[in-house]
Amino acid sequence: MARLLCIRPLLWFCLSPIAFIASAHAQSYPSKPVRMVVPYLPGGGTDTLARMIVQRLTEALNQSVVVDNRPAVDGIVGSEVVARSNPDGYTLMLISSSHAINPALGRKLPYTTRDFAPITQTANQQILLVVHPSVPAKSVKELISYAKANPDKLNYGSSSNAVALPMELFKTMSGTRIQHVPYKGSGQMIIDLVGGQIQMAIAGAVSSIPHVKSGKLRALAIGDSKRSAYLPEIPTIAEAGVPGYQASIWSGMFAPAKTPRPIIDRLNKEVVKIVQARDFRDQLLQLGSDPVGNTPEEWGRFIEEEIVKWGKIAKTAGMREETAH
């Protein structure tokens, strides 16, 4: 019996060379610079967050981590780069809500969610339901009443599907009819909203808060399920009149599928530590975001739930691309 016990560990390693190699590889990881693909333009919210993380991750890994911007087609181009990269831990990705919005819209993608290994969700950026001062509503309930009394007379702007779908969710849950005006960028959308060309929007906190503070826009509520530490005076949409409502612009990290689990665990440990550090949290709050930091399993489940949730809303709103053919 003792002889069998001595043989078993050796037998396990002989039968599991892949596990042995993966473990050895993880112990020496990283031995060269790591690339963080950000599938958006430099200067945006996700890019800013990526550069904040990369600075600290470089110190934590004792190896250079560099941002590689691959903007185009709502994050699809950069995502494909990562999906096709070697699963060795040297190509990572920080992406926002488009990772779930694209499949939810029924788009034909050159990859699936199974081509990625979840690492962790990094942050939630608060989104605000804001209206132009000309709208005679100072609360969510008053807005709903006004919209119901004036169907199709209000319009909302959006610069991406990541903020259009939360408004469509609001319309569905509140039983209102509000027209959609799409924009190619958030800058022009905010300009038109401040100017009164459109009456309302669900917009990121970073772009809208300065106009709220100046009195050019009125913030009625935030989209997340709990109030923001940065904006504690603003109620959630759920508590202000639409029970059960929840939406935010989130971000998180992935690696290519089949990246060794020890490497995923190492990255998860380091990134969670980074985003939950007090000084990093304070920086995020100034950007209108709340830190998260969860397990790979929790992050993966969240993504699948988001795809299902927004897929239903997109279908109801007639936004799924397959319905247009």
- What confidence tens digit (pLDDT) does each residue in 175-200 have? 999 999 998 777 889 999 999 999 99
Decide whether 33-125+248-316 matches 127-247 in CATH topology. Answer: yes
CA distance 220 to 128: 7
State residue 24's pLDDT score: 55
Distance CA 38, CA 23 (A): 28
pLDDT tens digits, 114-130 = 999 999 999 998 899 99
The three-state DSSP-derived secondary structure of the chain is CHHHHHHHHHHHHHHCHHHHHHHHHHHCCCCCCEEEEECCCCCCHHHHHHHHHHHHHHHHHCCCEEEEECCCHHHHHHHHHHHCCCCCCCEEEEEECHHHHHHHCCCCCCCCHHHEEEEEEEEEECEEEEECCCCCCCCHHHHHHHHHHCCCCCEEEECCHHHHHHHHHHHHHHCCCCEEEECCCHHHHHHHHHHCCCCEEEEEHHHHHHHHHCCCCEEEEECCCCCCCCCCCCCEHHHHCCCCCCCCEEEEEEEECCCCHHHHHHHHHHHHHHHCCHHHHHHHHHCCEEECCCCHHHHHHHHHHHHHHHHHHHHHCCCCHHHHC
Q: What is the pLDDT along the chain (325 residues), one digit of tens a residue?
A: 444 444 444 444 444 454 545 555 567 899 999 999 999 888 888 899 999 999 999 999 999 999 999 988 889 999 999 999 999 999 999 999 999 999 999 999 999 999 999 999 999 988 999 999 999 999 999 999 999 999 999 999 998 888 899 999 999 999 999 999 998 777 889 999 999 999 999 988 878 888 998 999 999 999 998 888 778 899 999 999 999 999 999 999 999 999 999 999 999 999 999 999 999 999 998 888 889 999 999 999 999 999 999 999 999 989 987 543 3
pLDDT at 23: 56
User: CA-CA distance, 39 to 82, in Å (whole number)?
Assistant: 10
Architecture of domain 127-247: 3-Layer(aba) Sandwich (3.40)
pLDDT value for 6: 43
**Architecture of domain 33-125+248-316 in CATH?**
3-Layer(aba) Sandwich (3.40)
Q: 293 vs 107, 192, 240, CA distance in Å?
A: 29, 36, 28
pLDDT confidence of residue 184: 79
Rg value, the chain, Cα: 22
The domain limits of the chain are 33-125+248-316, 127-247
pLDDT at 286: 83
Q: List phi, psi (to 5°) of 91.
A: -130, 120
